[in-house]
Structure 1
Amino acid sequence: MSKARMSPLRSSFVHLALAGYTVIALFPVVLTILNSFKDKNAIFRTPLAPPTAETFSLVGYATVLKQGDFVGYFQNSLIVTVVSIFFVLLFGAMAAFALSEYRFKGNTLMGLYLAIGIMIPIRLGTVAILQGMVAAGLVNTLTALILVYTAQGLPLAIFILSEFMRTVSDDLKNAGRIDGLSEYAIFFRLVLPLVRSAMATVAVFTMIPIWNDLWFPLILAPGEATKTVTLGSQVFIGQFVTNWNAVLAALSLAIFPVLILYVIFSRQLIRGITAGAVK
């Protein structure tokens, strides 16, 4: 069988695998949302059953909205996530373009250095990061979180985007140079539109760790005015007593931005993931 005949089959297999993975991944999300609308007894007695007229309760959502500034936590998470993704995509795409387009001394070493940045978790440098933020006066600010998350997401973004940018036609870029376009114009007007699927993929995979992170908000921005939604949800978890209705309600509200972003970028995300599999 020729490659031309196998390509549609491989494409269908990849899409089927992604659909199956999506169903498995969404199961705990659906379970969390369903249990957030049930009373405490029903959560423990029938966790897999949907809420009924007898078990339906909104006490968790009422508690979340009354206790603490959950709207403020939500706003902080949104600001940190959106700004961090913007800088990761901007600087990551520019660095990836430079590594894939230009040959200079140290190009290979730079790529290796970035690859090491993917393998070594940034949390190993927590103490040094905290000391640097204290010296810079950035503790309990959203700026500290944005800087850390930008640094955290850049290695993977550059690694993925550079591979996609190598597939952009050199003839197209050379034609732009002949027409008098600057390197910036070639980058923003010619290259970026052709790697939108990769940009969407990087955006989704960058957003999820940032939005769900508890470590750096707890270390760098634990103040009431700078708490993120994940850190703010911890107020309902005590050493001896946990308000499960409020915890599930807070987690359900925190899930929606991720789901909305996934729906918006789902087509581009699937294209970016399957780009190398369906050629």
Structure 2
Amino acid sequence: MRNNRDRAGALVTHALLIFFALLAVAPILVIVVNSFKTTQGIFGQPFALPNADTFSLGGYERVFTRGQFVTNYGNSLIVTVGATVATLVLATLAAFALTEYKVRFAPLVGGFFVLGIMLPIRLGTVPIIKTMISWQLMDTLVALVLVYTAMSLPLAIALLMTYFKAVPGAIKEAARIDGAGELRTLSIVLPMVRPGLAAVASVTMLPIWNDLWFPLILAPSKENQTVTLGVQQFVGQFLNDYPALLGALTLGAVPLIVLFVVFSRQFIQGLSAGIGK
């Protein structure tokens, strides 16, 4: 009797999960499918697949001829990769130092980074703008990389500290006895915290690629626009061209979906392991 109840509960749970998954995916599929249609096909058969009468690539042609999506993709790639690499390097060094060296101010510094997780960086937009102007970095990709790195460091450091604390101390002591320096000891420990590094990379990349606020504030020129900002401005210019509009939305969403699909397993495993530790 209990097994039947467990099976019924599992069935209901899976049915609800499938329902909510379809509820989330269906609008995206509708946008992607309709981006390959003519305007008449979009309004006449919005939920049907493209056929010989409604299929058209005109929307994508207008997107690439009138927009700058190649440049936008390149800028987003530079900013995302640059900020992610900088975050991984700095967070790894900081987390290793905070967990390895028992100094009085280490808990205070760790609490400072936790405080940085709770305070949204957008509250400091005005000081950030003043700083970038004084450094002559306004309307540059470097400004975005610096801001995103600072935004991502608190969570990255807090997450990696849980992994470094779980590394057996005997391994590090054995490396030091053999004459390894601190950087060499860190390199020996790094493979043991690889899930944490993957989690940090995934949790850093997704918000950066999808952000609109700082590209709009710090790098608004056409030469430095990211994909998200480029899509937003394209949508404003071609509001009545529905095939081009849906094509632009698809091009803006596809990289984010690919990033999530590729790194979702590492993200979930990394965060779950970090909580367990």
> What is aligned with 1:66?
65
Match of 1:275 in 2: 273
What is the rounded CA distance, in whole Å, between the counterparts of 1:183 and 1:60 in structure 2? 56
Q: Give the Å deviation of 1:158.
A: 0.5
Summarize the alignment of residues 179-258 of structure 1 with structure 2, pairs less than 5 Å apart. Answer: 179-188=178-187, 190-238=188-236, 241-258=239-256
| Cα-to-partner distance string for 1:189-227 (whole Å, 9 max, x where unaligned) | x22211111111111111111111111111111111111
Q: Which runs of 5+ in 2 are unaligned?
A: 1-9
User: CA contact under 8 A between 1:196 and 1:268: conserved in structure 2?
Assistant: no
User: Which shows bigger deviation, 223-232 or 48-57?
Assistant: 48-57
Contact 2:92 2:160 in 1 (8 A): yes
8 Å CA contact 2:206–2:259 kept in 1: the answer is: no
- Residues 47/109 of structure 1: CA separation in 2 closer, same or farther (3 Å cut): farther
Residues in 1 aligned to 2:189 and 2:146: alpha-carbon distance in whole angstroms? 26
- TM-score computed with the length of structure 1 as normaliser: 0.84
Cα distance change, pair 41–270 in 1 and its aligned pair in 2 (3 A): same
Map of 2:77 onto structure 1: 78
| 1:78 Cα deviation from its structure 2 partner | 0.4
Task: Provide, for residues 70-110 of structure 1, a one-character-per-residue CA deviation record: whole Å limited to 9, x for no partner.
Answer: 11111001000000000011101111111122211111111
1:112 — aligned with what? 111
Q: Map Cα deviations across residues 236-270 of structure 1 (whole Å, 9 max, x no partner).
A: 22389443322322232233333443444344333
RMSD: 2.6
Q: Distance in 2 between matches of 1:231 and 1:169?
A: 46
**Radius of gyration: which is bigger?**
2
**Structure-1 residue corresponding to 2:7:** none
Q: 1:167 to 1:31 in 2, by over 3 A?
A: farther
Report the 3-state secondary structure (helix = DSSP H, G, I; strand = E; otherwise coil) of the residue aligned with 1:166.
helix
Letter in 2 for 1:118: I
Q: Which amino acid aligns with 1:158?
A: I
State the secondary structure of the residue aligned to 1:205.
helix
Contact 2:235 2:248 in 1 (8 A): no
CA–CA distance in 1 between the matches of 2:22 and 2:204?
21
2:259 paired residue number = 261
Q: 1:95 to 1:47 in 2, by over 3 A?
A: farther
Residues 206 and 260, structure 2, Cα contact 8 Å, conserved in 1: no
Q: Deviations over 1:166-197 (max 9, x none)?
A: 11111111111111111111112x22211111
Letter paired with 1:246: A
Shift of 1:37: 1.6
2:7 is the alignment partner of 1:39: no
Distance change in 2, residues 1:100/1:57 (3 Å): same
Counterpart in 2 of 1:93? 92
For the residues of structure 1 that align with 2:72 and 2:58, how far apart are their CA atoms? 20
Note the alpha carbon deviations across 1:114-154, whole angstroms, 9 max, x for none: 11111111011111111111111111110000000000100
Q: Could you give the per-residue CA deviations for residues 56-80 of structure 1, whole angstroms, max 9, x where no partner exists? A: 2212211111013211111001000
